[in-house]
Chain A
Amino acid sequence: MAKHKAIVKKEKCLACGGCISVCPQDAILWISSKAVVDSTLCNSCSICVKTCPIGAIVWEGTEDAL
């Protein structure tokens, strides 16, 4: 199975920048004051997923199930 990429559920994101501060790939940026993952840069390390205090970051393809 191809590795999933992280994806921010933007309606949940409260814009603290935690994920941006820890992403080792510099793959997360602000778009309209919400964190957004650039999937071309994400290496699926899961650091941002674990860091988000409210669980707003999930794996692509699973976002509807949650």
Chain B
Amino acid sequence: MHYDAVIIGSGPAGSVTARFAAETGAKVLIIERRAEVGVPVLCGEGISQKVDTYKVLEGKRWIATKMQGARIFSPNKTMITLAAEYAGNETGYVVFRDIFDQELARGAANKGAELLLNTRAVSLLKKNGKINGIKAQQFDETIDIEADIVVGADGVESRVGRWAGIKTTLKPYDLETCIQYTLTNIDWDSPYCDFFLGKHVAPGGYVWIFPKGKDTANVGIGILASLSDAGKAKYYLDKFIASQPALKKGQPLRILTGADPVAEPIQSVADNLLLVGDAARQVDPITGGGLMHSIEAGKYAGETIGKAVEKQQFDIKMLSEYETRWKESFGKKLHRNYVVKEIMLDMDDKTLDMLADSLKDYKFEEFSTLSIIKALVTKHPSLLVKLTPLMKLARA
């Protein structure tokens, strides 16, 4: 078997990469270790309506609910409301991630991409020191798949980068460890995605409620792994649910655990190799949202593969165009938000409450880091010291 590109992982990053590569005429194969694309779901399922602009999803079957915006609750329950257009990459639609992922994969297949399920990449193939495909385990058989380009779209646990010498092991400080119930029979008919902060709510993370229909919602938690202990995420989530009268009667339709990288992005290209999506740590370090970036980066990756195949040139020099494009588009934001993550981790509950108090009446029309900082320090000048590193970044 020989392909122009073999893509490891059929998540959004893999399928969108495959779609745009196949569209240029490249011969691409996606391999997926699971038995069904998108299953099991490991996600809060919130995404910005910006996803529509990529035209990679047909129809509306993948949409569970359309959201008006987001609300953030500080430890003392001071509320900040954000309209959807300012609420970042996680608010707009709550989706059915299994259907969502399958629609993206269908789009790739329609453009000519092939898919192999139950097929797990186990190592890279090399010829004369150069990557030229992968070895995979399919049921109980080992197969060689030759390809000029190997794409690691293998998610948070990414091995592909590691095999190529890129350091992908996450420090506990850079991982949110998560658990989520899809609860039904709750009193929660809200057009908002809600986020709850606080050391006693979710250490180093947050609790989220993303509505799916009128009496059902994804209720989940992420806590920073460096602040975690065995089973602590579940402990905090159960405690939160018990404290909310509207959720108490809830019954679970689904339970999932998850791991979300909140790291700085890493090197995403090497000779004959690309990393896309969570594998490249293209996740917002504050919110943990990665769907939009996976789709955007997948588009760039697919287009770069197309050009590389046309020129039959697969070295890092050729493939770097991909890295340049995604870093220009959102690399700076990821870096800035990583700094914000570190600042927020240093804040105690009182400071978070002060922040929320400063922002609760703020009109999020002029949404720049600097304008928000101004609003903050006008009301609570003592916040100034804590926000100095951020101001430097905002001015840079």
Contact = CB atoms under 8 A, between A and B. Distances in A.
A39 B40 CA distance: 27
Interface in B105-162: 120, 155-157, 162
A52 B156 CA distance: 14
B253 interface: no
Interface residues of A, number: 23
B230 A49 contact: yes
B178 interface: yes
Interface in A1-58: 14-18, 20-24, 26, 30, 33, 47, 49-55, 57-58
B172 interface: yes
A18 B233 CA distance: 12
A32 to B, nearest CB: 11
B394 interface: no
Nearest to A17: B157
A58 B170 contact: no
Contacts of B162: 26
A52 B177 contact: yes
B8 to A, nearest CB: 14
A54 B229 contact: no
A50 B229 contact: yes
Contacts of A20: 157
B170 A53 contact: no
Contact of B259 (A16, A26, A47): A16
A57 B223 CA distance: 17
Interface string B282-302: 000000000000000000000
B245 interface: no
B336 interface: no
A16 B178 contact: yes
A16 B175 CA distance: 12
A21 B171 CA distance: 9
B76 interface: no
- Taking each of B172, B230, B231, which has the highest tally of chain A beta carbons within 10 Å of its own beta carbon? B230
Nearest to B120: A30
Contacts of A15: 40, 257
A58 B177 CA distance: 17
Nearest to B162: A26
B257 A21 contact: no
Interface string B163-190: 0000001111001011100000000000
A23 B169 contact: yes
A15 B179 CA distance: 11
Contact of A54 (B33, B120, B156, B179): B179
A17 B33 CA distance: 13
Contact of A21 (B40, B42, B157, B255): B157
Q: Assign chain B's interface to a size class.
A: 20 to 34
Given A18-B259, A23-B169, A53 B178 contact: yes
B234 interface: yes
A16 B257 contact: yes
B156 A51 contact: no
B231 A55 contact: yes
Contact of A51 (B34, B172, B255): B172
Given A24-B169, A26-B169, A51-B177, A14 B255 contact: yes
B391 interface: no
Contacts of A24: 169
Nearest to B220: A53
- Taking each of A21, A54, A55, which has the highest tally of chain B beta carbons within 10 Å of its own beta carbon? A21
A50 B169 contact: no
B169 A21 contact: yes
B258 interface: yes
A20 B42 CA distance: 15
A2 B234 CA distance: 30
Nearest to A25: B169
A18 B257 contact: yes
Contacts of B172: 22, 47, 50-51
A65 B36 CA distance: 36
Top 9 nearest A-B pairs by Cβ distance? A55-B231, A18-B259, A53-B233, A17-B157, A16-B257, A55-B230, A14-B257, A53-B179, A51-B225
11 contacts: A15-B40, A16-B258, A17-B259, A18-B177, A18-B178, A30-B33, A30-B120, A50-B172, A51-B175, A53-B228, A54-B231
